[in-house]
Chains A and B, each alone.
Chain A
């Protein structure tokens, strides 16, 4: 039995530690895994989607998964409310699909209804204007389209969103464990020799950079980045050994040698409605 101990803060800022633990579980040859969340006090959407994707990948590999809930009562209740417990039920996939929560969901296709529901829920916590609604729709639709077209993941992708009324922001996270962005970009001749995954993630946000062969593309991430910058938001991309945070005034690229490898892609968005 392998015990995977998760850190106190499960947010994008602690991604290295979090991804390290998740990768340990995915790569492990042990058939029985325990997701130990006792120390966890704060879970951002990034942490939830990353954890959910890891659990499902381990289940898919035929490993028996169980978890030790957080000692913090608030965190424990929150996890139950968003449907995280459903992952560990015997019929996990079915349970997750029928979950009424719009906060943590798994998809294999683009679902415009989910986008509308999510906006309604977020509007309940933060007052959203027409522009905010349109922007959220755009981010979600583009990320869903990317995950569907490029990730080629059997288990689809996870989405989680959470409004933070006190901070006045909204976090949306996407995770898939399919093909990563750097692997896909290296199929293009001009990026074949590029070693730095973070550099490739930056390139992926440039207009017209795409691996689509049948039609033009390469606009989704470009526009997410552009519109988030206009509204003082942040876009963080993690894929394989790359991690880049597109902040309103600067781009923070993590040195690829120090980044824990994540076999897939994670996108974390922080937006400030009304700005």
Chain B
């Protein structure tokens, strides 16, 4: 196997192998487990760095393994997949550091980190999948790998959340499977192709293609948490903070959104999808999700539940940007795939810090917490302002391109959705910031832990600071070489090339 054919497999193995070893490590082998975790995450990052450089210079990395007669397991590095791979690799490293600090004294850490690595392997598999069947395999593996993480704490609430998650995602998986099989019967291929592979089909099949589109989007919409398929996400917030970070920013919801991008671009082709008339309903569903998620977030006192509804709203931006049908909005959608991940992971890390250090779980308990944990709350502030879309943070860049794309595509109504969503974002984030920075602190915190002179443990504090800095850098240096914005432009230029 040549280097170019083996590299995608190596990227996958860099998290799979450490994960498998960790499963069998005794609980007390903390150093070995930590070394394996960090080595795997760092190696993956290096390999991805090599791959992204190669893809930019026209290298073709593809692993093809026979799976079924006529169907291969394909791992391929293309510009779109690299965007998602980079996001998951970078955030995996950061989340690993955070998880090590977060689960310092918890039981069953080998089991946790084993599934954690498996989860990231599945995510990278979803990103690198070169056809719909490979995508489906990794997508379902992701469901199975994430479930043990959600129920890890073993509480009733965790088990209930796990059940709901499994019910939703398995049902979604069934829809996706039916859609995929139907598509294969109709076309004889499932290979992702730039600008799609369905436009050549006879017009008599168009009805079927519309139904298949609905099946695929409904299947993927579960993980994307599109309304009304979002019910599992706010429940899953009972999971530990690193898992929430993984669910909301790196793996699960992103896999769903990425899947929708793949289906619209590389299965149907954006122009063909628009000609079938399926993009406008998709845009409407996304718009409803954006407003609904924000409205629900507005009334949540539980901090993580508020953030969960915020995710419901924010992920729909990606779908909206794709469904608007235009190159500029597509840039906004793709860049938001990356930016939302970085901003949302910051917020979840901070929520985890508040819970672990002071026992704070509710917004109403956050009065004056900015004085007790200034660095954590500074990171939270940057993440929240990013979500609102305040310049020069990452969220501003996404909203800029989405708004501009809507104008460019003649979909002016989207501007009102974006404006309404920004207002609602401000309405549910600013009171949190106000309480944290300007209200007088309570005499005692719900469950305070002292970490010497520091506000919390280094392993808990460093990750949100790094991701908050990234939120600033991704926005401020949006036009720097290899920035997500330039990469998104690169992808869109390929998709919309004449």
Binding partners A and B: no
> Which residues in B have some Cβ–Cβ distance to A below 8 Å?
none
> Which residues in A have some Cβ–Cβ distance to B below 8 Å?
none
